[in-house]
Amino acid sequence: MRRLTIVFTTCALLAGCVTGYELVSPATVTVAKNSMRVRPSISWNKAPSGPYDIPQEESWTENGPLLDRLEFIGALPSGQAIAKQRPKDDRKVPVFRADMTPQDLVSMVESYYRIKLDAKIFESTSVKPVTFLGKPGVQFDYNFVSSDEVKRRGRSVFAVVDGKLYLTSLDGAALHYFEAALPEFEAIVASASIP
């Protein structure tokens, strides 16, 4: 019984070590199925797709997704959601619509965090107009606590261009990691363009 336990445990832990991360070098690169062009100034790790990732999504991390995550969603058409979900799911992230008000877009992002990222506490700290991809957009700042109990902060910057959603967001641990990544995130957002 004890040997079986050791075998099971070892296999399980090794299975968790297969990573699937790819290096992103500090140079101009297109992301999210070539929907946006950005210029990172440090190396990032491109994460493997998660269970809720949609095709138009790409995810980067510097220190691992528990500590910091940078997400890109590009050219998402009206009528689709920012997360994979089934029609019969009990809780559904509202789909993106091209005529959404700023509050609708903010609610959509908040629902995503509560439903898919298990945020038990979510607080909006700021919603303000910004320019993103050369167009009028929204910058949404928030903090949240998921069931892993880590306090996190987030910033989502998004705009609707030709009826499609373009979104870049950073979230990370409130203790150090979010703030450490923020200047690089701001530079990436400022560098973003539609190719």
Partner 1 sequence: MDSSHRRLVLRGLCACALYATARSALARVLPSQLTPLVSPGYKPTDTDERGIWQACDRLEEELAASNLLVRNDALKAYVRAVTGRLLGDTAADLRLYIVRNPEFNASMAPNGMTIVHTGLLARMRNEAQLAAVIGHESGHYLLRHSVRNWRDLKRKSATMAVLAIGGAAATGGTGTDWYDIANAINTAILLSLFSFSREMESEADAYGLKLMAAAHYPPAAAAQVWAQLIDERKASAAARKKQYKDKAMSIVSTHPPTAERMTDLTQSAAELERAAGNGEHFDNRRTEWLAAVAPVRSMLLDEQIKLNDAGASLYLLGSLAQDGWDGTLRYYEGEAYRLRDEPGDGARAADSYSAAIRFSDAPPEAYRAHGYAELKAGRTEEGRRALARYLELEPNAADAAMVHFTLGQ
- The footprint of partner 1 (CB under 8 A) covers 1, 4-5, 8-9, 11-13, 15-16, 47-48, 50-52, 61, 64-66, 87-95, 97, 99, 101-104, 106-107, 110-111, 114-118, 120-122, 124-129, 138, 145-151
Element containing residue 19 per DSSP (H, E): none
Q: Which is nearer to partner 1, 17 or 27 (CB)?
A: 17
**In angstroms, what is the minimal distance from the CB of 176 to partner 1?**
16
Q: Minimal distance in Å, beta carbon 127 to partner 1?
A: 4
Instruction: Compute the least distance from the CB of residue 195 to partner 1, in Å.
Output: 28
Q: How far apart are CA 92 and CA 113, in angstroms?
A: 11
Nearer to partner 1, 33 or 122 (CB): 122
Least distance to partner 1 from the beta carbon of 108, Å?
Answer: 9
Nearer to partner 1, 104 or 162 (CB): 104
Q: How far is the CB of 152 from partner 1 (least distance, A)?
A: 10
SS (H, E, C) the chain: CHHHHHHHHHHHHHHCCCCCCEEECCCCEEECCCCEEECCCCCEEECCCCCCCCCCEEEEECCCCCCEEEEEEEEECCCCCCCCCCCCCCCCCCCCCCCCCHHHHHHHHHHHHHHHCCEEEEEEEEEEEEEECCEEEEEEEEEEEECCCCEEEEEEEEEEECCEEEEEEEEEECCCHHHHHHHHHHHHHHHCECC
Closer of 120 and 135 to partner 1 (Cβ): 120
Nearer to partner 1, 15 or 27 (CB): 15
